[in-house]
Chain A
Amino acid sequence: MKLRKRVLAVVLSTAMAAASLVGMSTVTWAAESEKITVGMSCINLTDAGLAAIKEGADKAAEDYNMELIWKACDGDLDTQIDVIRGFIQQGVDAVWIDSVDVDGIISVVDEATDAGVIVLTAGSKVEGKENYNLVYPDLVDAEFAAKAVGEYYKDKEGTVGLIVGSAGNLVSEKRQEGFEKGMEGYPNLRLVTEQGMWDATTSMQKAEDLIRANSDLLHIHVIADGMSYGVYRAVANSGKEITLSSNDGEADALKHLEDGEYLLENLVGNGRLGYWGMVIARRLADGEEMARDQYLPTYKVPGEEIKPIIEAAGLAKGEDGYEYEIVTLEEAKQIGSQEGYVEEFNESFVPTK
């Protein structure tokens, strides 16, 4: 009995010491590194996805001794350029840019890097001289979703709806391109695309129109969770059996997946995205060398119904040897949570080299 107690005490104290060391490691890093300032230039601050990115980035700033200055440009390139020039004049250490226009932004990106500022361009690749691109595989992820839907409805003929963000938006266009490419292998399914304008109300309206215009509508894929909730409401109101899939892997969407209302989710995790970006900024400021293109791993989260179909079709292996990471719902919840991404991007995290 005594021995058992002693063993338990040793195990507990070891666990506590390990836990405090893990906790301390972040604190130590934050305390040892000099405080850095990062200018955050985003398209707008009204998007729910961006609010989640901000939450993740703010958490990283707290963990890694950083100060973030947030500025929105309301989708205007000239304003964004002025904002970035303002950051350079302020003497920030790094700039994080959610670009309005990947080509139009290049000159000011180069101005910033010439001035010694670390530049991180998020979401889409910006071909500047020395900036770092924070990218995630939108194209192949959307292609996977389309193939999964295609396999699910392999033996049926009908229409598949695709709700994109807005024409001209790079993220939206990449996700649209990927989905269209994936659907090419399924001639039994006709694809119709609509713009949800990143807004749940418009997306709901577009979904209602799609449902009424296409009596053979089988499925709607939405390229962002924020829009998908409006689409879900439209489908539920219609009383029809139309399946849904979405992208982002936000907690509310995972709940729909759990309840069997969504077929499939792609987990990027906006909070995770924000946290990861700031960890990269911190490490670059500390002098770590890494590749100019940094890739955020994403995960496929299939619902119970579609999981065996994906496995049977061997969709986990994409073209050119690309391997998709497929995770369970429980794993996805953990990865997407704040606790999960703080752990994922701790000191042992290895950026793309």
Chain B
Amino acid sequence: MGKTVKNALQKFHISYNRLISILILIILMAVASIVNPAFLTADNLLGILAQNSAKGILALGATFVLMTGGIDLACGNGLTMIAVVASVVHITTGENFLVLLLMCLLLGVVLGGINGFLITRMKLLPFVATLAMMSIAKGVTLFASEGKIMFLNHPATIFIGSGRVLGFLPMPVVIFALMCVIAATLLYRTKMGIAVYALGGNKEAAEYSGINVKKEETKVYVFDGICISVAALVTVCRVGQISPNLGEGAMMDAIAAAVIGGTSTMGGKGTIGGTIIGVLIIGVIINALTFLNVPVIAQDAVKGLIIIFAVIFDALINRAKKE
């Protein structure tokens, strides 16, 4: 029986870790739909996906960084900075959508490039470099926005934020899916992907095996920066406004999603599929709290408890598997 299950999992390239994540997700969804049948409707499930698309894109970047053994503490504030600066330029230049798009991408590449430079060339620890960038991003955000709220009304931004493809698929979900395909291609089909796993496993060994560690690690942070910029674009288009506290808490959710999805904080381990499931788990928890009508004062604690339970459950199963 065990062998049959193992064969089936291998056939579909599903690891035990992934299976556990899927099980946790199914349990959460089952509980929520029993209490409130409105949970398990196409409208709500697509809504959860749309709400968590920006976080998911951020989590894809975080997955790459974590897999190299690094961390990006600036991703949340970076998202806010990119969203605010690009939107301010977009609004002040007469609301040209192309300006918004290019500014987002440019700022993302610059942010990732600086992180990569500080970590690989200046030899700063990822924790220190990105912590400093977090502070800089916060300052730039305040400077650019002057603490004010501004609105985006260009038809293209409205379409990206709330438009639907084929009449039912929210645009943020389409963008998230596209980013997942790009991330998966990079990780599983390119030299960069091999380098990501190698860097997280053993950096010295990777260097001896001919991998240009500095170059590959910088590329990872640049890709992370691009993910942040796309997440910023989706966020700002969805909510239709910018404010200096836009997307607060996004960093925690992105890293948590990657870790719940099986990405190791020590590096060398992680998958795109796992991260997608991690994003869904976080999204379903937040959504289910509303459907279950959990009181406001208990929501944070309940969310934290479910995440801890998910991680402990995962660790226990892994230990049992090893034994």
Contact = CB atoms under 8 A, between A and B. Distances in A.
Contact of A226 (B243, B287, B300): B243
Contacts of B167: none
Interface of B: 36, 38-39, 41, 43-44, 47, 51, 138, 141-142, 145-149, 151, 162, 235, 238-241, 243-249, 286-287, 290-291, 293, 295-297, 299-300
Given A51-B147, A209-B287, A198 B245 contact: yes
A96 interface: no
21 contacts: A46-B147, A48-B245, A51-B148, A167-B296, A167-B297, A192-B293, A199-B248, A200-B246, A201-B248, A204-B239, A205-B51, A205-B286, A208-B47, A209-B47, A209-B51, A210-B290, A213-B291, A213-B293, A229-B151, A233-B239, A233-B241
Given A48-B243, A201-B247, 14 more contacts: A44-B245, A45-B142, A48-B148, A52-B148, A54-B147, A193-B295, A195-B296, A197-B249, A200-B241, A205-B51, A205-B286, A209-B51, A233-B162, A233-B238
Contacts of A111: none
> Which of A50, A52, A167, A192 lies at the interface centre, i.e. has the most chain B CB atoms within 10 A of its CB?
A167
A215 B38 contact: yes
A230 interface: yes
Interface bracket on A: 35 or more
Contacts of A210: 290
A256 to B, nearest CB: 11
Interface string A229-240: 110010001000
Contact of A209 (B149, B290, B296): B290
A33 interface: no
A65 interface: no
Which 6 pairs between the two chains have the least Cβ-Cβ distance?
Answer: A51-B147, A209-B290, A46-B244, A46-B245, A48-B149, A213-B291
B244 A47 contact: yes
Contact of B38 (A164, A197, A212, A237): A212
A164 to B, nearest CB: 6
A192 B293 CA distance: 7
A336 to B, nearest CB: 15
B141 A46 contact: yes
A167 B300 CA distance: 9
Contact of B241 (A197, A212, A230): A230
Given A167-B297, A205-B51, A212 B43 contact: yes
Nearest to A50: B147
Contacts of B243: 48, 199-200, 226
B162 A202 contact: no
A194 interface: yes
B50 to A, nearest CB: 8
A286 interface: no
A175 to B, nearest CB: 12
Contacts of B38: 212-213, 215
A62 interface: no
Contacts of B43: 212
A259 to B, nearest CB: 14
A76 interface: no
A306 B290 CA distance: 29
Contacts of A50: 147
